[in-house]
Amino acid sequence: MLQFIYSQLIRLALPFILLRLWWQGRQAPELRVNWQQRLGFVPRTSGTVVWVHAVSVGETIAAAPMVRRLRARNPDITILMTAMTDTGLAQAMKMFGDQIQYAYAPYDTPGSIRRFLNRANPGILVIMETEIWPNMIRQSRSRRVPVFLINARLSERSARGYERIKSLAAPIMRSISWVAAQAEKDAERFRRIGVAAPKVAVTGSVKFDVDIPDSVREASLRLKASLSDRPVWVAGSTHEGEDAQLLAAHRQLLGKHPNALLIIVPRHPERFDSVADKITKQGFTLARRSRGEELGSAEVYLGDTMGELMMLYGASDVAFVGGSLIERGGHNPLEPAGWGIPVISGPNVFNFETIYQRLRDDRGVVIVEGVDELHQHLSTLFDDDVERGASGQRALSVVNKNRGALDRVVDGIIERV
């Protein structure tokens, strides 16, 4: 009964969801492209199809090494990657070009999911992290399509939420074929909310299997060479409420290191212009990457392009990971750690608690509470080349020590394809 009520509510909400999509498309026209795919009208696919679903950019990047490994292990399969956001799909296209197929994920109405499954005809559904959509999962399983949750994590707060609606959640959880959990506490929470114990495995986080393509390394080296010997720090995946704090820390840093450069990369492209405006209004000299502007004596470099954050991390000496000075929950610190550069974060990292704990255990990250602490740590690192190198190596060693989840996940998928 709850499944029926849920489906009816989603159907009733659909016109308003589409209206919101159209409204947002006024400023972001790409949102209106292929909007029919959100109703399940995707191109027909043949052969053995592995449907990989990621929400947005972060999950898409996390899925990339898995997709490469699956294609290497079984070149005959067709990878269909879906995302909920235009930025997620843009990231996937930038990474894979015409090697795989793409579509927007269908909205979770019974009709949209049915049309999608009829056209895509997947042999397996791989969901990155914890995107639990009732109709997507139940209809896939009713067609004997195995459903895997990969790199799965579940916070205690989310687990309690599912327990409150266990009569709806439990049948969905029983439809999941395999959960590859990041840590034992995630696995325990999935068992609590209805996933059968034999279906849950602790594989670790695939994000530790950082994969930096040669093309990204080469682009990073070119940019690094153009920066000469300037001290460079990057603030990746920043959110509203953080930019002013980061600029304040950079202002203090310039007092001691006048040739320092801050590369700031907002998480969402709709914020590019507003962040640029904030930078110039605060009196900083600015260069924008999207315009190909020369860095010269610019104090701030705005990374206002899509899919280049990994490369920008590699061109920097120190990295701050955004979404952590506000109550956002943080972003993936393993991307800069994989380059062997020092990693700094704010205190709000609940979205990556397991990863951050492992970094903390080996002193592979420094947590700062605000502007003054951020400035002080940056200044210390730029004053001390030995400590800066050691800090980066500690972060990289955490990555290397925890690699291997990707092989376990790919083995589990290949066995079931």
| Of residues 402, 214, 226, 206, the one with CA closest to residue 311 | 214
Cβ contact 62:130 at 8 Å: no
The span from the CA of 238 to the CA of 321, in Å, is: 8
Q: Which two structure tokens, joined as six digits, stand for 339?
A: 């380059």
Number of Cβ atoms within 10 Å of the Cβ of 198: 7
Could you give phi then psi for residue 277, rounded to 5 degrees?
-65, -40
Q: Which value, to the nearest 10 degrees, does the dihedral of the CA atoms of residues 126, 127, 128, 129 take?
A: -130
**Contact status, residue 347 vs residue 327, Cβ threshold 8 Å:** no
Residues 6+ apart with CB under 8 A from 190: 149, 152, 154, 173, 179, 181, 200
Sign of the alpha-carbon torsion through 179, 180, 182, 187 = positive
Beta partners for residue 28, in sequence order: none
How many whole angstroms separate alpha carbon 405 and alpha carbon 386? 32
Angstrom distance (rounded) from CA 102 to CA 365: 35
Q: What residues act catalytically?
A: 59
User: For 31, which DSSP code?
Assistant: G
* CB within 8 Å of 382: residues ≥ 6 apart: 231, 253, 257, 260, 317, 318, 388
Residues 300 and 317: their CA atoms lie apart, in Å, by 15
